[in-house]
Structures are given as C-alpha cells and as structure tokens.
Structure 1
Amino acid sequence: MKLLNIHNYLLRHVQVMLSSLGELWRQPVATSMTLLVIGIALLLPAGLFVILKNVEQVSGEWQHANRISLFLQDEISDKRGEQLAEQLQTWPDIVDVSFQSAQQSLNEFREISGLESLLDTLPENPLPAVIIIEPEEAQQQEAIEALLERLDALPEVDLAQLDMQWLQRLRSINETGQRGITILAILLSLSVLLVIGNTIRLAILNRQTEIRVIKLVGGTNTFVRRPFLYTGMWYGFLGGVLAWIALLISLLIISGPIDELAALYDSQFTLKWFGGQMLFALPISGLLLGVMGAWLAVSRHLNAIEPS
C-alpha cells in the first residue's frame, strides 16, 4: 500500500509537470519572449566567464617567461658581468641566471632585425650587456617587485626591468574581471527571479477563479502551488538550455578569427569552450532560479485568493 501511494504521488507530479510544459507550448509567443529574456540574462555572465578563463589560459602559458633583465652600465666589462651573474646565481630567490655580452646582444638583434648593412655603419655598439634572471615562480608579486628593487640598486646595473610586467597587469585585470562577473551574475540572477516571478504572478491572477474553485472543493495550497512551481522550473530550465545554445553559437562565430590570430603569433592557443560544464551549469542554475522565483510569487499571492 505504501509503495502504491508513493507511485501515485510521483505519477501526479509527472502529470502536473507535463501539463505545465503543455501550457507553455500552447502560448508560443509569450513563452518565447520570456525564455529569450531569461536566456540572455544567463548568457551574459556565462560568456564573460568563458572569455576570462581563456585569458587566464593565455597568461598561464607564459608563466615561465616572467623574467628580469638587468641592463649593465656601458663601462662594465664582460668579465665583471660574468662575475656578477655568478654572484646572483647564489641568491636563494633566483632560479637561473644567464649573461649576454654587448656583442652577443648586437648579433642577436642583427639576426632578428635584418638590418646588417645599417648596423655596420654605426661607430660603436649601442646595445649594453644584459643579465637575464629567472626568479622562482612560486613567489608572490610583492616578492618579485622587492627582488627587482634590490637588483636595480646594484652599482653595475643601469636598468632592471621585469619582462612580463604587462602579464602581471593582465592578471590584476583578470582578478577585477572575476569580481565584476560575480556581481553581474548576482544582478542578472535577481532579474531572472523578477521575470519569472512576475510571469507566475500574472498566471495566478489569470486563474483566480479556477484557484477559488479548487480551494472551495478542498484543494490545499500545496496542490494549487504545484503547477506554478513546475511552470517556473520549465521557464528556468529551458532558458538555461537556450543560453547554452547561444553560447556555443557565439563561440563558434569567434573561434575562427581567434585561431587565425593565434597562428599569426605562432601560438598553440586553442579556444576552450567549456561546453560540458556550461551544459550542466546553465540549465541547473536556470531551474533553481525558476523554482525560487515561482515560489516567491506563489507564496505572496496565493494566500490572498480565498473562496468567498
């Protein structure tokens, strides 16, 4: 008997769930407009999240290039430069040190620039000797900046420059973007709640007579509330699916130009779509928001409708 009651209970839920989906299907214009609003609201933070994660992927690939270049004074000899490089190798917060003489710097620039004839006309070598330092990757930005100041204070050094300062700025922008996306996701989630809540409120007002009759014959608030909750669930779930489809289409459109740009820079970067994660996150997030919005609307307006 208990199993039969559970079976009947689940069967009624399935019937109400399918009936609610049928109600949406019979109102295609209104349903489509509501789903479009919900889909856009869910798409915006999801799209920004995917873009931010791909930017983090790019910065992560260049993590090893976080090097410090020491440009030595012109009067510093190559022998003294090599001795300084050996001294710096013993510093605990430095992983690797390499010395490049002024002549080696000129030869490298000659090969890269292709300006051999122009460089031959120069009266002297304009390029300084360079010591390239690779600090420990585990160091925080403050520790690397402190190391940079210590190196810049050396008497032999004319200029100490962090080669990837722009990458650190990019990381700071990423952190700001993460917080911005979080705020945007919260605000748009509230907008989804309001949209679904208002939609359910209008549905309740349109069915006031039906609700009064159900209550008059003994229907409980739980029984009356059930179809509206499933309606909110369908709105949120289908809006999440729509947002996922729109996200994939958007990424498909921009993936070609991004691949071409990566090829121009000889990069192995490929756009990560996060399709599997978004397929789970967007519909489930929409479903939860839909149920919450419907529950708030029903709880507020259902008690005000009583049989007279």
Structure 2
Amino acid sequence: MKQPTPNVKKNTRRQAPETRPQRSAGAVTARTGVSDRWHSWLGHHREMAVESLRRFFATPLASAMTALVIAIALALPAALQLGLVNFQRAVAGWDGQPQISVFLHKSAREAAVRSYTEGLRADPAIVEVTYISPEGALAEFQEASGLGDALAGLDANPLPAVLLLRPRNTDSGELEALAEKLRDSALTDAVVLDMAWVQRLAQLTELGRRLSAGLALLLALGVLLVVVNTIRLHIENRREEILVVKLVGATDAFVRRPFLYSGLCYGFFGGLLAWLLVAGGVALLSGPVAGLSSSYGSGYVLHGPGFPYLLGLTAGAALLGLVGAWLAVARHIRAIEPR
C-alpha cells in the first residue's frame, strides 16, 4: 500500500475540530445595583402614595367622617391656643409694668417736692416719674367717683400730691427694695407697690397655656386611637391580600407602606379641616368682637389663623396619623403570616 505523505498528515491535523469550553446549564444570578434599588424604592413609595389617595376618595363618606373626628379633636386645643394669642395681643397695649405710687406729705414745700422729683428721674432704677398735683388728683377722683357735687362743697382739698413711678426692673425683690428706699424719704407719707394685677395677669396667662397644652396632649392621644382603629379595620379588610403578597416573599416593610400613607392622608385632611373650623369660628366672632372693641374706643380685631398656622396644624396632624398607622401596623401585620 501507498504510504501517506507528510503533507497529508499536516492537513489532517489542521482540520481537527477545536475543543471549546461548555457553558454550565441552569439559572443565572443577576445583581441589582444601588441605583436600581433606589429607583425601585422611590417608585413603590410614589405608587403607594397615589394608591392611598385613591382609596381615601373611593369611600368619601367613611373617609370624611374619620377626618372630621380628627379635625374636631384638633380644633379644640388649636382654638384655645389661638384665643391665648389674641388675649395676649389684646393686653399688649395695656400698661403691663408694675407701678409705684408715692403719696407725699401735704405739708411738703413745692421746691422740695420739685427737687425730690428731679432726683427720682435721675435714678437709673426708675424709667419714668409722673407728678400729679393735689388739684389734679382731686379732679381725677371727682370724675372717677361721680361725687363731684359732694366734693365741691369741701373747704380744703384732702388729697396730697402723688408721684407715679415706673421702675426699670420688674423683679419682686428689687421692687420691694426700691419701695423701702422711697419710704425712708422725709417727704414720703405712704408708698403703694401696685403689681398684684400684673402677677394675676401672668398667672392667668400661664394657667391658660398649661390648660391648652394638657388638652392638646389629651386630644392628640384621642387622634392616635382613632387612626389606630381605622388602620386596623383596613388591615382586616385586606388580610387575604396581605397573605398573598407574603407568600411571594414580601417583607413587612413592603406590606406596611400603603397603610402608613393611609394614616398620613387621614391626618393631613383632618388637620386641614381643623384649620377650616378654627378659621370659620374666627370669622363668626370677628364682627361682635370688633363692635365691642369699638364701643371702648379701641380698634382691636381678632387675629385669625394664617398660613404658618395652617402649615403647623396640617404637619402635626399628618405626623399623628403616621404614628397612629405605624402603631396599628406594627401590632397587626406580624400576626398575619401564611401557614
């Protein structure tokens, strides 16, 4: 037989098929980047917010009743707090500083009284000194008491000259020390420190502030209970849906998200209704208050809730709704597990 030539062998080696690495069969694991997860998280939040609004307006009667209960609970402390603000504005024009009345001896000479008055005006502890002559004091008393005819028949003026002092410092200890210093003067017959009404006004304002804070805390607890009960009913109505999404691997955070947005909706619209209730109450009372103040010669008008008040009330109510929804979800979502 004829032997194959070396060239044929070389060609045979060249035509031999090359061996390639085989790919492994099976599932391929795909890694999700941080950006993809972030966009997915934002997209789900946006979707749940829109879905919560849709569910809120899908049952307008039930949603409006719940929001109205929240609004009434929030409007009471809000109206009380606004009333305190208006009260402080009303008394802001009054003389809120304590006053010291110095009654001089009737036998004091006019030159000595003038010198004593100038010395008090130069005292850095005193802001203002007002001198009322005996004749001026008598005229003022006649006008205030209505006994003008009876006092006109007196042979002599029984009232002394008076100095009205406005101290710079309102500390009670320093006021007492200043009053004691004034009593030591030879021209002074009596010194009256008039600050009792100032203390009563401050105590009344503090009482109203604490009452408003206590009522706000109590009714905020009531708002939380209303939201908790409402979200609990929502969870029970969607129990089957929660079981299904948990069966396919949904986390508790995924499940609780729509209920948190529902709580935000209830709180926000409840705060908005509360602001409308307070604004309506101010509008109803503005006319009578303006008429009453004009009868006393004052141009005072009620100060209504403005935009910052609206922002604070709706934000606080939305936060209460969110907290109430979180409490309801944290308690009931964990109890719903597929078997």
Q: TM-score, normalised by structure 1?
A: 0.87
Relative to structure 1, is the Cα distance of residues 154 and 49 closer, same or farther in structure 2, using a 3 angstrom cutoff?
farther
Which stretches in structure 1 are left out of the alignment for 5+ residues?
Answer: none
User: Cα offset for 1:196?
Assistant: 0.6
Question: Is the CA contact (8 Å cut-off) linking 1:78 and 1:129 kept in structure 2?
Answer: no
Q: Deviations over 1:167-205 (max 9, x none)?
A: 332122212322332222222222211211121112112
User: Cα offset for 1:237?
Assistant: 0.4
SS at match of 1:305: coil
Question: Is the CA contact (8 Å cut-off) linking 1:81 and 1:99 kept in structure 2?
Answer: no
Equivalent residue number for residue 238 of structure 2: 207
What one-letter code is carried by the residue in structure 2 that aligns with 1:284? A
SS at match of 1:278: helix
Question: Is the CA contact (8 Å cut-off) linking 2:264 and 2:319 kept in structure 1?
Answer: yes
**Match for 1:256 among 281, 287, 290?**
287
Equivalent residue number for residue 218 of structure 2: 187
Equivalent residue number for residue 65 of structure 2: 33
Equivalent residue number for residue 240 of structure 1: 271
Equivalent residue number for residue 128 of structure 1: 160
Relative to structure 1, is the Cα distance of residues 221 and 91 closer, same or farther in structure 2, using a 3 angstrom cutoff?
same
Q: Deviations over 1:36-94 (max 9, x none)?
A: 22112211221111111222223332246643222334444544433432343343311
Equivalent residue number for residue 93 of structure 1: 125
How does 1:159-170 map onto structure 2 within 5 Å? 159-163=190-194, 165-170=196-201
Relative to structure 1, is the Cα distance of residues 268 and 157 closer, same or farther in structure 2, using a 3 angstrom cutoff?
farther
Q: Distance in 1 between matches of 2:87 and 2:104?
A: 34
Q: TM-score, normalised by structure 2?
A: 0.80
User: Cα offset for 1:110?
Assistant: 4.9
Equivalent residue number for residue 22 of structure 2: none
Count of equivalent residues: 307
User: Cα offset for 1:113?
Assistant: 6.9
Q: Deviations over 1:82-139 (max 9, x none)?
A: 3432343343311222322212222344567776544322233233321111211x53
Question: Is the CA contact (8 Å cut-off) linking 2:272 and 2:310 kept in structure 1?
Answer: yes
Question: Is the CA contact (8 Å cut-off) linking 2:97 and 2:170 kept in structure 1?
Answer: no
Equivalent residue number for residue 16 of structure 1: 48
**Aligned CA-pair RMSD:** 2.7
Structure 1 stretch 274-283 or stretch 69-78: which is displaced more?
A: 69-78
Relative to structure 1, is the Cα distance of residues 142 and 233 closer, same or farther in structure 2, using a 3 angstrom cutoff?
farther
Relative to structure 1, is the Cα distance of residues 142 and 195 closer, same or farther in structure 2, using a 3 angstrom cutoff?
farther
User: Cα offset for 1:145?
Assistant: 4.3
User: Cα offset for 1:7?
Assistant: 4.8
How does 1:1-308 map onto structure 2 within 5 Å? 6-63=38-95, 66-110=98-142, 117-136=149-168, 138-152=169-183, 154=185, 156-163=187-194, 165-308=196-339
Equivalent residue number for residue 5 of structure 2: none
Question: Identity rate of aligned residues, in percent?
Answer: 43
Q: Distance in 2 between matches of 1:149 and 1:167?
A: 20
Q: Distance in 2 between matches of 1:142 and 1:265?
A: 36
Q: Deviations over 1:128-155 (max 9, x none)?
A: 321111211x533443344345435656
SS at match of 1:47: helix
Q: Distance in 1 between matches of 2:286 and 2:181?
A: 44
SS at match of 1:303: coil
SS at match of 2:164: strand
